[in-house]
Amino acid sequence: MAKTQVSLTVNGAQVDALVEPRTLLIHFLREQLSLTGAHIGCETSHCGACTVDLDGKSVKSCTMFAVQANGTDIRTIEGMANTDGTLHALQEAFREMHGLQCGFCTPGMINRAYRLLQENKNPSEAEIRMGISGNLCRCTGYQNIVKSIQYAAAKLAGVPFQEAAE
Ligand code: FES
Ligand code: FES
């Protein structure tokens, strides 16, 4: 099949590649760029495991073709750490607050939470739950994911994290 040239930015690096028009963005990221952090759970836009940040929006990368990403700026979980190599507040939060168990949903969940906190620096619990409603987790029951996002919001704001009373 004829291939199409795409040029985009991925985790701050310029990427030029040839892709088949039928290639989904998630397959391009995982198979051509070896960025396997974004996972494939359903390929039908339900689970959110494939979520990446694209031009300032959370995008389920199984729902678009790689050719549609031409000219865009993408961040995957591989680009989430701080430039000095330390964990991003969200990564630290998920570790500290036990926001993951098997970890399958985690890259998508953290990417989604990243955009949520860009849009709302101090979300309520209800806003967090609504914000991650497109990302499914089969392990945690979500409580510790919510706590992780609250922890990260506090850390990014430079204030101590206080767990809400149960
Ligand atoms: S793999 Fe994309 S939403 Fe499930
Ligand atoms: S930690 Fe297992 S699916 Fe979320």
Residue 133 alpha carbon to ligand 1 centre in Å: 13
Give the number of the ligand closest to the Cα of residue 45.
Answer: 1
pLDDT above 90 coverage of the chain, percent: 96
Mutate to test the pocket of ligand 1, among 44, 64, 109 (most ligand atoms within 8 A of CB): 44
* pLDDT average, residue stretch 20-46: 98
What SS3 string covers the chain? CCCEEEEEEECCEEEEEEECCCCEHHHHHHHHCCCCCCCCCCCCCCCCCCEEEECCEEEECCCCEHHHHCCCEEECHHHCCCCCCCCCHHHHHHHHCCCCCCCCCHHHHHHHHHHHHHHCCCCCHHHHHHHCCCCCCCCCCCHHHHHHHHHHHHHHHCCCCCCCCC
pLDDT at 166 over 80: no
5: pLDDT strictly greater than 90: yes
In Å, what is the CA distance from 71 to each residue of 55, 62, 79, 122, 138?
10, 18, 18, 31, 34
CA of 145 from ligand 2 middle (Å) equals 10
| Amino acid 165: pLDDT | 64
Output the ligand 2 site: residues, CB below 6 A: 100-106, 137-140
Q: Which of 25, 30, 36, 47 to mutate to test the pocket of ligand 1 (most atoms within 8 A of CB)?
A: 47
Tell me the CA–centroid distance for residue 109 and ligand 2, in Å.
9
Q: Kindly give the distance from the C-alpha atom of residue 105 to the centroid of ligand 1, in angstroms, as a whole number.
A: 10
- From the list 75, 45, 39, the residue with the least C-alpha distance to 60 is 45
Would you say residue 135 has pLDDT above 80? yes
Local confidence band at 78 (pLDDT 50, 70, 90 cut-offs): very high
What pLDDT does 163 receive? 83
Separation between Cα atoms, residue 41 and residue 30, nearest integer Å? 13
Any atom of ligand 1 within 6 Å of the Cβ of 60: yes
pLDDT 10s digits, 141-155: 999 999 999 999 999
Q: Which of 101, 99, 133 is nearest to 116 (CA)?
A: 133
The rounded Å distance from CA 166 to ligand 2 centre is 23
Write down the pTM of the prediction.
Answer: 0.96
Ligand 1 proximity of 50 Cβ (cutoff 6 Å): yes
pLDDT-derived band of residue 162, with 50, 70 and 90 as boundaries? confident
Question: How do residues 88-125 score in pLDDT, each as one tens digit?
Answer: 999 999 999 999 999 999 999 999 999 999 999 999 99
